Amino acid sequence: MSPETNLTLEQRLQVQIFETRTQDLSLEQAQEFLLEMFRQMLVKDNLFDKLTEG
């Protein structure tokens, strides 16, 4: 099963837009972008944990 199977139509469109916008990134830009995305995922996880605490 493809990971996109669980996405809504709007989310699949967002993925296509994201792909188009990131195609021309240099290697350095892509690495910086991935690092920032990972950092933001960790912040999101921490926020979610705080919101779901008893």
Residue 4, pLDDT score: 64
33-39's contacts with Cβ under 8 Å and 24+ in sequence apart are: none
Is pTM beyond 0.95? Reply is: no
How many domains does the structure of the chain reveal? 1
For the record, the structure tokens of 21 come out as 């916008």
Tokens 């779901």: give the residue: 52
Residue 40, pLDDT score: 98
User: 1-54 pLDDT, tens per residue?
Assistant: 566 679 999 999 999 999 999 999 999 999 999 999 999 999 999 999 999 996
DSSP structure string for 17-52: HHHHHHTT--HHHHHHHHHHHHHHHHHHHHHHHHHH
Q: Which domain holds residue 16?
A: 3-52
